[in-house]
Amino acid sequence: MPRFLLFAIVFIEGFCSLGAEVIALRQIIPHMGSSIVVTAPTIGFFLLALALGYHAGAKVDSGYLAVVARNFLIAAALTGVGLSGVAVDRIFALLNPSGLAYLFFVAGVVCPIAWLLGQTVPILTNLLHHERVGEASGQALYWSTLGSFLGSLSLSLLVMQWLGVSAAVALSALLLVTGYVLLSPRRGWAAATTGLAVGALTFVANAWLRPEIETAYASYLVVPVKYDGAINGRAFKNNSSVASLIDDAEPPHYARYIRHIRSLLLDDLAFRDRQILVLGAGGFTLSHREPSNHYTYVDIDPAVRGIAEKHFLRETARGDFIADDARRFVIRTEQRFAAAIVDVYGSHSSIPGHLVTREFWQATRRVLEADGLLIANLILDSALATPYSRNLLATIESVYGRCAVEVLQKKQVLANAVVTCRNGPTPEPASLFVDERNSADFDLARSR
């Protein structure tokens, strides 16, 4: 086999191996979130499987092309079907708890792909025996790493952005099938037929069975729903979780927490002609048919507004839209707002980790007017008793002082908790009233 063709095979291996890792990290976001405790083990297991693949490839002493061709074919099937959105959804739907499904997905899909493709470089280096060992391995690693670099960038920044995650899965599978056909000892129709079969499975799994609208950041779907008072109700789903509700009634019915926040702004505070910041666009229902104030939405996904307008609202969303990370926006913007609504869920009950820290809540204060209002929609246990609930609320109040917390669905295990805080001076540390030294009367007097 010509050298350039061998290096092309190695390039495909690098492109698709790291591409599989990028795709896997994206596919588990709806089910596990994107926190460091999920991404770090996923990367770690992938690298372990890759190392074991290097070790296994070093032991192969014959039939080099046939072994790599077989590995490429199996990896193509695992990529095209196993990494498809419908397969990942089924794994997490059938296996509970989610941690078990995660381990099954990583051990049964992600690691085998890494192990199979990791064998490529040590095996094909044997075919470069006419060169120095160091030169042969160096050239092979160069093309493999170059493929990994271009695969990670092109799949995440180009293919997923413009064509969706399913297109990234299909492209990776197609490249592996191409490598199989080039390497297969069964030249001609036999190899082509096998490759076409894997391609057909990839198409079915990623195009026919997956109705979602996919971007690099999320999978969106609009589905019909029934709820009290709704006429032709529909839900806007973000990463398999309901993000917004709307219907054709006059006036439309929205999600309960949206109705609560609208009532707070329009009725309780009587906001008119004020600037409202919304971090996390959802379905753009907060400003829907609400002309009293001006709304600025910030969401990391640049495609979300067009998707919501076309498939969910079925009309133009009211307000401005800025595609940016919420934390970066509140740090850099020079605008000031009468209220900032934080609704930054990437999936059900999962807030990105950098948007719950004290530093983030401190940054939100700088975008508020002197007496501005922070309103955060949080999905917490309805008793507010878990460590996550208590620590998140304590983090917010360490910045804003005492905030109002209203749990909207008190009978449910998980509920919307709307946290309302006033901007103002840095709060003093709290002290307890005890019988030995009770300062209640003094504190009451100086508070008036």
Q: DSSP state, 373? A: E
Q: What is the pLDDT of residue 206?
A: 83
Q: What is the pLDDT of residue 349?
A: 56
Q: What is the pLDDT of residue 150?
A: 95
Give residues with Cβ within 8 angstroms of 85, minimum separation 6: 27, 165, 166, 206, 210, 212, 214, 219
Q: What is the pLDDT of residue 129?
A: 65
pLDDT tens-place string over residues 251-272: 899 999 999 999 999 999 999 9
Average pLDDT value for the chain: 90
Q: What is the pLDDT of residue 352?
A: 83
Q: Which two tokens stand for residue 12?
A: 């495909």
Torsion angle of C-alpha atoms 219, 220, 225, 227, degrees rounded to 10: 100
The residue-averaged pLDDT of 288-309 equals 94
Q: What is the pLDDT of residue 426?
A: 75
pLDDT at 350 over 90: no
Q: What is the pLDDT of residue 204?
A: 86
Give residues with Cβ within 8 angstroms of 29, minimum separation 6: 218, 239, 346, 347
Q: What distance in Å separates the CA atoms of residue 179 and residue 12, rounded to the nearest whole number? A: 7
Sequential DSSP letters for 76-104: HHIIIIITSHHHHHHHHHHSSSHHHHHHH
Sequential DSSP letters for 262-320: HHIIIIIS---S-EEEEES-TTS-TTTT--SSEEEEEES-TTHHHHIIIIIISSPPSSE
pLDDT at 217 over 90: no
Max CA distance (Å), the chain: 92
| Adjacent-strand bridge partners of 321 | 297
pLDDT tens-place string over residues 93-129: 899 888 899 999 999 999 999 999 999 999 998 887 6
pLDDT at 130 over 70: no
What are the Cα distances from residue 301, in Å, to 152, 278, 305, 325? 19, 14, 9, 9
Q: What is the pLDDT of residue 186?
A: 64
Decide: 18 and 152 in contact? Cβ < 8 Å: yes
pLDDT at 343 over 70: yes
Q: What is the pLDDT of residue 187?
A: 63
Q: What distance in Å separates the CA atoms of residue 233 and residue 239, rounded to the nearest whole number? A: 19
pLDDT interval class at 241 (50, 70, 90): confident
pLDDT interval class at 138 (50, 70, 90): confident
Q: What is the pLDDT of residue 319?
A: 95
pLDDT tens-place string over residues 351-406: 888 899 999 999 999 999 999 999 999 999 999 999 999 999 999 999 999 999 99
pLDDT tens-place string over residues 395-434: 999 999 999 999 999 999 989 999 999 998 777 777 888 8
Decide: 357 and 395 in contact? Cβ < 8 Å: yes
Greater model confidence, 203 or 146: 146
Q: Which domains does the chain have, with CATH numbers?
A: 3-213 (1.20.1250), 252-422 (3.40.50.150)
The residue-averaged pLDDT of 2-18 equals 92
pLDDT interval class at 131 (50, 70, 90): low
Percent over 90 (pLDDT), the chain: 64
